[in-house]
Amino acid sequence: MNIAKLSIERPLNTWLIVVICLLGGIWGFNTVGKLEDPAFTIPNAIINTPYPGATAVEVEEEVTERLERAIQEMEQIDVIKSKSLPGRSEIQVEVHSSYRSHELPQIWDELRNKINDAQGDLPEGVLGSQVNDDFGEVYGLFYAVTADGLTTREIRDISTFLQRELLAVPGVARVTTAGEREETIYIDISNERLTTLGIPINQVINTIQTENAVENAGSLRVGERQVRLVARSDIDSTALIEAIRIGRPGTTEQVSLMDIATVYREPSDQPNQLIRYNGEDAFTLGIAGAANDNIIRVGEAVEARMEELKSRLPLGVELHPLYEQHHVVNDAINDFLLNLAMSVAIVIGVLCLAMGWRIGVVVGSTLLLTVLGTLLFMGLLNIEMERISLGALIIAMGMLVDNAIVVAEGMVTNIKRGQRAKEAAGSAAKRAQLPLLGATVIGIMAFAGIGLSDDVTGEFLYSLFMVILVSLMLSWLLAITVTPLFGYYLLRQKGDDEDQPADEQQADEHQDENENDDEPSKRELYGGLLYRAYRRVLLLALGMRIVTVSALVLITAVCLWAFSLIPQSFFPDSNTPLFFVNMELPQGTDIRSTADYAADIEAYT
């Protein structure tokens, strides 16, 4: 079947392909998800088990080893690493790389069942084990919140308020905070007063716990209704705690807690985390967008919501952006569009200089439609626009023009030999369509091993293979349909009337086949300076076969040796303007001492 000739004879179908690629590409660009990196699943989990008061050796022997034996029964687990600390056991597990992301939830459920079954073998005092497998959330927006002059309680209220409001933003999946100081109510009891009054310390503790307990008070029937009784403790302030009455043993006398103790509220002596921003105490706010959502749209919605919330925040509260992924993604996409425009312009410019402006327009239009059609299929196949998929388009850019150039150049050659535009397009495309298809498939298969890999590499680089697959196949399809049609419009010569009667046209074609003397010879077609120079080099290489083959073998060996000298890295160096300084102090160092050392380092920045 001569597809190229049909595309010219039935241009409506070809123009339909052009319109679909053009409008579909615009739709795909506006609707496809935009991320910084492709989403992938981390096949790791951490099991934390608190054992308060136990030494590291006791944690190892009584907790860690028993949990490890239970985990080792799972054949899906590849690596188990454990760390026994005073009062806590930490076990890290990694699943075999052969398991794909959709299989991991079932594996984590089985892991939790194994851990729960092993709880009965652990000693008393061990708190419940927690399995954490949620490492896939990417917090694309990260802020530091400072609140000068506010109390710890007010800061926690602001943290809760921001979480609640930002979770309501469309596209936001999770909002987490860190660094808020915990408040603790301290009760300093005077042993001297207890001894004088004869009140045991255990009685004071039991009374406070009883007052703070939530118990079911039952219900009463009132007429036709059942009324539930509520006995609320209402101990939510230091004043109410001070008012707790404690009885003296052996008497009916009661004393207030404030008579024997001092009650006060302060930030915890041992905070879990301390965060500072530019020398000020702060807490962080991390916002993660929904999977496969457009991070640019989510980031803009979050920014708009934060502007609305600023008027509802107390004076002194400031939001400082640390990292805003939607700006990074937006810049990357703008850079891609610039590179795309430059690529198309360079291709058209080079072709216009080398082969004329008509071929430049034909091939450049095909290249643009190929890229737009690829964006259409990315939207249909739910392939996000991110670093890997955009890189795949850049990689494929040099291969996308090959098919169109071969067909267009064949048309020009046939037209110079005297063929009419339609026949020139048909013969050029028909002669090259199968070889071009084979070359296209070979180019695709070069990336198949990466994208179809069963491990996390295949998951991460899947979009690389799919984008190259779609773009190269689409470039071949457009090269044998759209390129001949555009070439027919722009490359045909004056007097090339394809609308003449069929019998006259057949007569002219028969005459063209027999009048070989009127056709330009091959010497005339390939008589240019570049052709003549290439012919001399080719004849020289064929005449010196042994030298040519030896040179090729030597060059190949040198390339293999030089390849071993190239530094290898799966990811390039990050261009994010952030860096980390890890400071390690001796084990057991108080967190407040660590904060003092960090403050000294801040003084040098």
Residue 28 tokens read as 């795909």
Contacts of residue 526, Cβ cutoff 8 Å, sequence gap at least 6? 535
Label residue 363 by pLDDT band (50, 70, 90).
confident
CA angle 512, 513, 515 (to 5 degrees): 65
pLDDT at 23 over 90: yes
Residue-wise pLDDT for 399-424, tens only, equals 888 888 888 888 888 887 777 878 88
Mean pLDDT rounded to a whole number for the chain: 83
pLDDT in tens, 177-209: 998 888 888 888 888 888 878 888 888 888 887
Please list the residues that pair with 231 across neighbouring strands.
none
| Token code pair at residue 217 | 């008070």
**Whether pLDDT at 24 is above 90:** yes
Mean pLDDT of 516-536: 65
Residue 291: the pLDDT is 73
For residue range 265-279, list pLDDT tens digits in order.
888 777 888 888 988
Please give the pLDDT value at position 162.
Answer: 93
Residue 511 — pLDDT band, cuts 50, 70, 90? very low
| CA atoms of 412 and 391, how far apart (whole Å) | 33
Beta strand extents in 232-307 (DSSP E only)? 245-247, 254-256, 261-267, 275-277, 280-289
Given a cut of 70, whether residue 522 has pLDDT beyond it is: no
Helix %, strand %, coil % of the chain (to 5): 55, 15, 30
Q: Side-chain half-sphere of 477: how many Cα atoms within 13 Å?
A: 15
| pLDDT given at position 467 | 93
**94-149 pLDDT tens trace:** 998 878 778 888 999 999 999 999 988 888 888 889 998 877 677 889 999 998 88
Q: What is the pLDDT of residues 422-473, one digit of tens each?
A: 888 888 888 888 889 998 999 899 888 887 877 777 778 888 999 999 999 9
pTM to 2 decimal places: 0.71
Predicted local confidence at residue 399, as pLDDT: 83
Quickly state the pLDDT bin for 68 (edges 50, 70, 90).
very high
Cα 210 to Cα 30: distance, rounded to the nearest angstrom: 61
* Residue 57: strand, helix, or coil: helix
pLDDT in tens, 225-274: 888 877 666 666 778 888 888 887 877 788 888 888 888 888 877 788 88
Q: Is 79 helix (H, G, I), strand (E, B) or coil?
A: strand
The first and second tokens of residue 293, run together, are: 């959502």
How large is the average pLDDT for residues 352-377? Answer: 87
Average pLDDT value for residue range 314-327: 89
Helix count (H) and strand count (E) of the chain? 22, 15
Res 520 pLDDT > 80 = no
Helix segments in 384-481, DSSP class H = 387-416, 421-451, 456-460, 462-479
